[in-house]
């Protein structure tokens, strides 16, 4: 059995064990071997249902499927009651409602996914041509802000076009991805986490960080969202002339990510840390980038060896330095950094780091379950 196969087996066992104690709640973060459990009221809820669907697809264990199905009403409630609703519709609904529509053949879940796609679509700002990340549409400051993480929510818009036959959703995704490539990516392939526009004129203003150490630093998870997000955009737009540009963009971000990676192959939370900041690792940036590299290998056949080499390094770094091998561990990856400037979960389990690790393990062992791009 390869190392990836061994880790996959353990990961599936942990998802199963966790599913027996989580009930109506969602594992989010932890600094111990036990995940804390929260209500469905933040941006990370979909990663737990996503792990359940990945594990169900791999094992056929209907207990996992039923655990995910039991949680879907809480996602509907998010929309009904406007609970923390913003650009994160893809993270929340692709990994819950859309997965349920595909893997449990549930048309009501598809209808709910469409509701979430309309929410995302309506956050598109004509002036500036970007999807507003946070806050009510048109809000004073945040109305002018887009963030790299949104690249990961675009698969929802591509799905909506496919589902309805209306190209308008995918067109907005393409516009946002092109605007973001123009402004959030610096000439050297590093990225700004966020970028601001003048909402009146649509004129570009400036790059700023939100979760990184400084406006001109390189927040590792933002860079990883970019690698994976542009790789998925290239896959989803494979029939459009934009696909080659998205491959080129993802490749540039991937090469920069790898060029900055330290010798242990685990990303620091920010690659360009100014003096005085704590030097935590961020394993979630590693697992997200790992999935991005594996997707790039699928969409850019001329450079497969290069991406596979990157993936191998990232996998080895995570397996050697971050995998939680304690027998009572509920999580997969130690050393995730959620929000260092706010001092939140800085050396912890992060459910999204674990989701992407499980996705990567399935891909590495030839068992890919794609909740984002296919179907
Ligand atoms: N999307 C928020 C984060 O990556 O922390």
Please list every protein residue whose CB sits less than 6 Å from any atom of ligand 1: 43, 149, 211, 221
Q: Is the dihedral of CA 311, 312, 315, 317 positive or negative?
A: negative
Quote the pLDDT of residue 115.
98
Please write the tens of the pLDDT for every residue from 255-313: 999 999 999 999 999 999 999 999 999 999 999 999 999 999 999 999 999 999 999 99
Which residue is listed with tokens 């949104």? 150
Distance CA 293, CA 255 (A): 10
pLDDT in tens, 1-45: 999 999 999 999 999 999 999 999 999 999 999 999 999 999 999
User: In which region does residue 291 sit, left (phi positive, over 0), alpha (psi from -120 to 50) or beta (all else)?
Assistant: alpha
Of the pLDDT bands very low, low, confident and very high (cuts 50, 70, 90), residue 360 is very high
Task: Find the catalytic residue in 88, 282, 354, 370.
Answer: 88
Residue nearest to atom 5 of ligand 1 (CA): 338
Whole-number percent of the chain with pLDDT over 70: 100
Q: For residue 113, how far is its CA from the centre of ligand 1 (angstroms)?
A: 21
pLDDT reading at 365 higher than 80: yes
Active site residue 198: no
User: What atom in ligand 1 is closest to the CA of residue 211?
Assistant: 5
The predicted model gives 218-244 an average pLDDT of: 97
Does 125 have pLDDT greater than 90? yes
CA–centroid distance, residue 92 to ligand 1 (Å): 12
pTM of the model: 0.99
Ligand 1 centroid to Cα of residue 61, in Å, is: 30
114 Cβ contact partners less than 8 Å away, ≥ 6 residues apart: 160, 163, 164
CATH 3.40.50.300 fits 3-364, yes or no: no
Reported as a single tens digit per residue, the pLDDT across 53-103 is 999 999 999 999 999 999 999 999 999 999 999 999 999 999 999 999 999
Tokens found for residue 298: 């699928």
User: Residues 297-338: pLDDT tens digits?
Assistant: 999 999 999 999 999 999 999 999 999 999 999 999 999 999
Has residue 356 got a pLDDT over 70? yes
Indicate the top mutation candidate among 29, 42, 43, 184 to test ligand 1's pocket, ranked by most ligand atoms within 8 A of CB: 43
How large is the average pLDDT for residues 121-140? 98
SS in 3 state form for the chain?
CCHHHHHHHHHHHHHHHHHCCCCCCEECEECCCCCCEECCCCCCHHHHHHHHHHHHHHHCCHHHHHHHHHHHHHHHHHHHCCCCCCCCHHHHHHHHHHHHHHHCCCHHHHHHHHHHHHHHHCCEECCCCEECCCCCCCCCCHHHEEEHHHHHHHHHHHHHHHHHCCCHHHHHHHHHHHHHHHHCECCCCCECCEEEECCCCCCEEEEECCCCCCCCCCEHHHHHHHHHHHHHHHHHCCCCCHHHHHHHHHHHHHHHHHHHCCCCCCCECECCCCCCCCCCECHHHHHHHHHHHHHHHHHCHHHHHHHHHHHHHHHHHHHHHCECCCCCCCCCECCECCECCCCECCCEEEHHHHHHHHHHHHHHCCCCCCCCCCC
pLDDT tops 70 at residue 181? yes
Which pair of structure tokens corresponds to residue 225?
């969202």
Give the whole-angstrom CA distance, residue 282 versus residue 286: 7
Average pLDDT value over all residues in the chain: 98
Residue range 188-196: mean pLDDT, rounded: 98
**Average pLDDT rounded to a whole number, residues 154-164:** 98
Helices 168-183 and 107-121, packing angle to 10 deg: 50
From 52, 17, 50, select the one nearest 35 (Cα to Cα). Answer: 17
- In this prediction, residue 375 carries a pLDDT of 60
pLDDT at 374: 83
Q: What is the pLDDT of residues 79-91, one digit of tens each?
A: 999 999 999 999 9
Handedness of CA 260, 267, 293, 312 (dihedral sign): positive
> Whose CA is closest to 93, among 120, 133, 131, 55?
120
């Amino acid at each position: 059995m390869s190392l990836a196969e061994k880790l996959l087996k353990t990961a599936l066992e942990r998802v199963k064990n966790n599913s027996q104690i989580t009930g109506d709640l969602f594992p989010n973060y932890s600094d111990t071997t036990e995940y804390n459990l929260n209500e469905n009221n933040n941006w990370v809820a979909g990663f737990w249902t996503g792990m359940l669907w990945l594990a169900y697809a791999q094992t056929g264990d209907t207990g996992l499927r039923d655990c995910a199905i039991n949680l879907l009403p809480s996602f509907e409630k998010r929309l009904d009651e406007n609970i923390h609703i913003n650009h994160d519709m893809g993270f929340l609904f692709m990994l819950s409602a859309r997965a349920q529509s595909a893997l449990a053949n549930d048309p009501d879940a598809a209808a709910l996914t469409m509701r979430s796609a309309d929410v995302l679509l309506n956050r598109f700002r004509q002036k500036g041509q970007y999807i507003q990340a946070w806050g009510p549409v048109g809000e004073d400051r945040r109305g002018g802000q887009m963030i790299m993480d949104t690249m990961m929510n675009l698969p929802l818009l591509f799905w909506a076009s496919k589902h309805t036959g209306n190209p308008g959703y995918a067109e907005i995704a393409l516009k946002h991805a092109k605007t973001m490539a123009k402004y959030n990516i610096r000439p050297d392939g590093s990225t700004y986490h966020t970028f601001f526009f003048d909402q009146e004129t649509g004129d570009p203003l400036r790059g700023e960080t939100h979760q990184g150490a400084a406006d001109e630093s390189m927040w590792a998870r933002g860079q990883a969202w970019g690698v994976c997000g542009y790789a998925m955009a290239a896959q989803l737009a494979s029939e459009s002339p934009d696909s080659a540009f998205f491959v080129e963009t993802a490749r540039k971000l991937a090469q920069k990510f790898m060029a900055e990676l330290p010798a242990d192959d685990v990303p620091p939370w920010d690659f360009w840390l100014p003096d005085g900041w704590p030097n935590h690792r961020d394993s979630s940036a590693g697992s997200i980038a790992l999935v991005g590299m594996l997707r790039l290998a699928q969409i850019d056949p001329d450079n497969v060896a290069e991406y596979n080499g990157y993936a191998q390094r990232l996998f080895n770094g995570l397996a050697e330095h971050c995998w939680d091998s304690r027998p009572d561990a509920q999580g997969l990856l130690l050393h995730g950094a959620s929000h260092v400037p706010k001092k939140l979960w800085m050396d912890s389990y992060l459910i999204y780091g674990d989701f992407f690790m499980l996705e990567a393990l399935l891909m590495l062992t030839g068992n890919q379950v794609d909740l984002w791009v296919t179907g």
